[in-house]
Amino acid sequence: MAVVRLEVEDGVGTIRLDRPKMNALNAELTAELRDVALEASRRSDIRAVVIYGGERVFAAGADIKEMSTKDYAGISTWVAELTGTFEIVAHLPKPVFAAVTGYALGGGLELALCADFRILADNAKVGQPEILLGVIPGAGGTQRLPRLIGPAKAKDLVFSGRQVGAEEALAIGLADAVVPAAEVYAEAVRRARQYVDGPALALAAAKRAINDGLEMGLSEALRLEIGLFTGLFGTEDQKIGMESFQQSGPGKAKFTGR
């Protein structure tokens, strides 16, 4: 039985983690997540993505039992596969929302950090507890977290291994919204649907410009932006958008996604 599923409805693809009880990240889940993320990236009927672990938990971390038996060579392969899978999720050319209920710890938080936006349940607990095991985050926690919330706040979470509640996560910029637990998935889908009828190629270009640009010097990033901007003048949506603006004003265009 699959532990990761892709469910599609009205342009929103839900990547559903389903490995009871805590969605622990093992080799099987990592491989299936990679396949599902690649499929979501390719499919033209998916215009936005929600990552969801279910009503009780997002993902409580890596499978420590599986991890603890590995030697240096084994863990090097294991973490490379996990990091590579997360890179695919992070580079999905569509808006991505993490709908977080319960725990998102260790690798679970690292997965949520790959999303563009994080919607947390009011009972959610997030953190990077790897230091309590004598190691450090190995799948993006020391890199994506400080880029999101700043180095000092990231060091506090990584050095202490403490768990952060939803309201603190919102205050430090780790969450984009906090809602009652029963509403997390619906709220993430509602927000994702805002982009379903948008210009898909322009949204992908905007995401790439922001994400890749943050890794570059300003001059190089500006060149990237120019290239992506001018490339959109070969799209159907650019013509539709500009013609609609001239005829009807802003916000009236009916985009095709091409």
**Domain residue spans of the chain:** 4-193, 200-248
pLDDT confidence of residue 6: 98
- Beta strands at 103-105 and 96-100: parallel, antiparallel or unpaired: unpaired
DSSP 62: B
Are the C-beta atoms of 197 and 252 separated by less than 8 Å?
no
Task: Indicate the length of the chain as a whole number.
Answer: 258
How far from 250 is each of 5, 179, 198, 206, 242, CA to CA, in Å? 38, 31, 13, 19, 9
DSSP-assigned beta bridge partners for residue 98: 51, 118
Catalytic residue among 32, 55, 110, 187: 110
Task: Using pLDDT thresholds of 50, 70 and 90, give the confidence band for residue 1.
Answer: confident
| CA-atom Rg of the chain in angstroms | 19
Are the C-beta atoms of 157 and 130 separated by less than 8 Å?
no
* Whole-prediction pTM: 0.96
**Per CATH, is 4-193 categorized as 3.90.226.10?**
yes
- 31-61, pLDDT tens digit by residue? 999 999 999 999 999 999 999 999 999 999 9
112 Cβ partners below 8 Å, 6+ apart? Answer: 51, 58, 98, 100, 104, 118, 126
Q: Which fold has domain 200-248?
A: Lyase 2-enoyl-coa Hydratase; Chain  A, domain 2 (1.10.12)
Instruction: Give, for 143, the enclosing helix (H) or strand (E).
Output: helix 141-149
**pLDDT higher than threshold 90 for residue 76:** yes
Comparing 168 with 69, which gets the higher pLDDT?
168
- 5-15, pLDDT tens digit by residue? 999 999 999 99
Q: Residue 182 phi/psi, 5° resolution? A: -70, -15
Angstrom distance (rounded) from CA 186 to CA 25 = 24
How far from 208 is each of 15, 35, 95, 205, CA to CA, in Å? 21, 21, 11, 5
170 Cβ partners below 8 Å, 6+ apart? Answer: 120, 176, 177, 178
**pLDDT higher than threshold 90 for residue 109:** yes
Which candidate, 174, 131, 126, places its Cα nearest to that of 153?
174
Q: Give the residue-averaged pLDDT of 63-84.
A: 93
- Count CB-CB contacts under 10 A for residue 177: 15
- The helix/strand/coil state of 243 is helix
Average pLDDT, the chain: 96
Are the C-beta atoms of 108 and 59 separated by less than 8 Å?
yes
pLDDT confidence of residue 62: 86
Catalytic residue among 130, 168, 183, 187: 130
- 156-203, pLDDT tens digit by residue? 999 999 999 999 999 999 999 999 999 999 999 999 999 999 999 999
Q: Give the residue-averaged pLDDT of 218-240.
A: 97
Angstrom distance (rounded) from CA 231 to CA 171 = 38
DSSP-assigned beta bridge partners for residue 164: 126
Is 130 noted as a catalytic residue in this protein?
Answer: yes
